[in-house]
Amino acid sequence: MLEAWMSFGYIVLLAIVVLAYMLWRRGGTILAVASVAVGIPLWFAWEYARPTWTTGVVTGTEVRRSDPDVRGNTSDIQYIYMRNRSDRGLELINEDSWWWLKRNSDRIFNDAKTAEARKTEVTLLWNRWRSTLLSFYPNVIAIGPAGSWPLWSLRTIMFYALSVLLWVGYFYGFIRLRRWSAPADVPNPE
């Protein structure tokens, strides 16, 4: 349970709140509000795109036809169901993603069906959130044998490298804005 609260996302969110508090305490109320107004939506977008991986057994695969859109077009949606090591169920979709440069969803679905038939343990790399209210499902990015391989995949390394640049730029920018907007300390002539 503790590792869920010590994830990178919550640490970044805590850092955003601490930055806003420091800016507010030093008299930069407008800057503190701006840091929260920019930081929280940026954090939500980053959390939505952030890759996560889990190891478990694929318990099912399914292809469903979507409801027709306004023009009457339908598509097939591939679902992958799995149970992770803590016996928690996950429902994921499998679709191509321009953000992750993923154009191999059919190969991933084939690997998931093979893992289901053989009942072997696999590691899935996925992003996005599950929302039962809005019918959102996480998207599978990659699949492979059980182990720590997703941590070293090129996609994951690039994402976290760009994340470091994003967050360092965010914090550096607001700290520089505070220094720039701070009134100069003028000595008292008396």
Whether residue 184 is predicted with pLDDT greater than 60 in this model: the reply is no
> What is the pLDDT, as a whole number, of residue 188?
55
Q: What is the distance between the alpha carbons of residues 45 and 170, in angstroms, rounded to a whole number?
A: 14
Domain ranges for the chain, please list them: 2-49+157-181, 52-147
> What is the pLDDT, as a whole number, of residue 152?
63
> What is the pLDDT, as a whole number, of residue 153?
74
Question: SS in 3 state form for the chain?
Answer: CHHHHCCHHHHHHHHHHHHHHHHHHCCCHHHHHHHHHHHHHHHHHHHHHCCEEEEEEEEEEEEEECCCCCCCCCCEEEEEEEEECCCCEEEEEECCECCCCECCHHHHHHHHHHHHHHCCEEEEEEECCCECCCCECCEEEEEEECCCHHHHCHHHHHHHHHHHHHHHHHHHHHHHHHHHHCCCCCCCCC
Fold assignment, 52-147: OB fold (Dihydrolipoamide Acetyltransferase, E2P) (2.40.50)
Q: What is the distance between the alpha carbons of residues 109 and 97, in angstroms, rounded to a whole number?
A: 14
Share of the chain above pLDDT 70, in %: 86
> What is the pLDDT, as a whole number, of residue 154?
80
Q: Among the ranges 92-101, 132-141, 156-165, 178-187, which has the highest mean pLDDT value?
A: 156-165
Whether residue 118 is predicted with pLDDT greater than 70 in this model: the reply is yes
Average pLDDT over residues 152-163: 82
Nearest C-alpha neighbor of 114 from the set 137, 143, 85, 88:
143
Please measure the distance between the N-terminal and C-terminal CA atoms of the chain and give it in whole angstroms. 60
Q: Tokens in use for 146?
A: 């059980």
Q: CA 92 from chain center: how many Å?
A: 14
Helices 8-25 and 29-49, axial angle in degrees (round to 10): 170
pLDDT band at 135 (very low <50, low <70, confident <90, very high): low
Q: What is the distance between the alpha carbons of residues 140 and 149, in angstroms, rounded to a whole number?
A: 15
Average pLDDT over residues 123-142: 76
Q: Which segment of 35-49, 111-125, 146-160 scores lowest on mean pLDDT?
A: 146-160
User: For residues 118 and 135, which has the higher predicted lDDT (pLDDT)?
Assistant: 118
Task: Quick: pLDDT tens for 64-98.
Answer: 887 888 888 888 888 999 988 888 888 888 887 77
